[in-house]
Amino acid sequence: AAMIDLGCSTPLYVDPEYAEANDLFGGMRRGSSASLGVEGVAISQLGRLESLRVGDVVLHDVPFAVPPVWRFAAPMIMGLPLLMRFRCRLAFGRARMQLVRASRSNRPFVRDASGLSVLHAGDHLQVIHVAKDSPAAKAGLHEGDSIVAINDEQVGPGNVQNHRNLGKRPPGTRYALSMVAKDDVELVLEDYY
C-alpha cells in the first residue's frame, strides 16, 4: 500500500518502522538530507533500492528517503519522479487507478550527489545540513556555512533555481564555492550512497 504525492520530489518516502522491519538499508551506505518545514529542520536518511516492483513493472536503483517522523496511514509515499515513469488511468466511479509503464520508465533516477542541504537566504545559501562521508563533508563544508557565489556567479533572488539542485548534476561535476569568512571550497559531486 502506498499514497501518491504529486508535489513530492523524492521518488519514494518510507515509514521508518517499515524500513527497519524490512531491513531496507541492509548493509548499504546511507546518505542524508535536510528539509525545512513548520516543525523545523528534519533529517531524512537516504538509500536506494536495487529494484522495486510496481504492478508488473520493475524499476531499478530507486532512491528512497526515510524521515524521522511518520504520520501517514500507508507505509510509503510515491512521489512524482517515480510516478513519471507511468501513464495513469483513473476510474473515479469505481475508485480505481491503473499505472501503465511509460516509454521513459527505464531512464535512471536522479539522486543527490553532494550531501549538501541549503536554504536560500537572500544574497547567500545557508548550509543547514552536510551528510556524513559525502562530497560536501569531504570539501570541508559545515552546517552554518554561508555560500555567496557558485562558479563565480553571485547567489541572489534572481538565480534561486540554478542553485536549488546543485547535487542533482552528474557525478564528477565541479563547483567552486565562495564562502563568507572562510576560504573558497571546491565541491566535486560523486555517488556517495
Regions in the chain scoring below 70 on pLDDT = 105, 159-164
Q: Which residues are registered as beta bridge partners of 64?
A: 12, 47
Quote the pLDDT of residue 102: 85
User: What pLDDT does 96 receive?
Assistant: 81
* Confidence (pLDDT) at 161: 63
CA distances from 22 to 11, 36, 57, 138, 168 (A): 18, 27, 21, 31, 28
pLDDT at position 1: 81
DSSP 8-state code for residue 72: -
Model pLDDT, residue 40: 79
CB-CB contact of 168 with 112 (8 Å):
yes
The predicted pLDDT at position 139 comes to: 97
d(CA 41, CA 127) in angstroms, rounded, equals 12
Helix (H) or strand (E) holding 81: helix 80-83
Q: Are 170 and 114 in contact (CB under 8 A)?
A: no
Instruction: Determine whether 32 is exposed, middle or buried from the number of CB atoms within 10 Å of its CB (0-12, 13-18, 19+).
Output: buried
Residue 93's pLDDT is what? 85
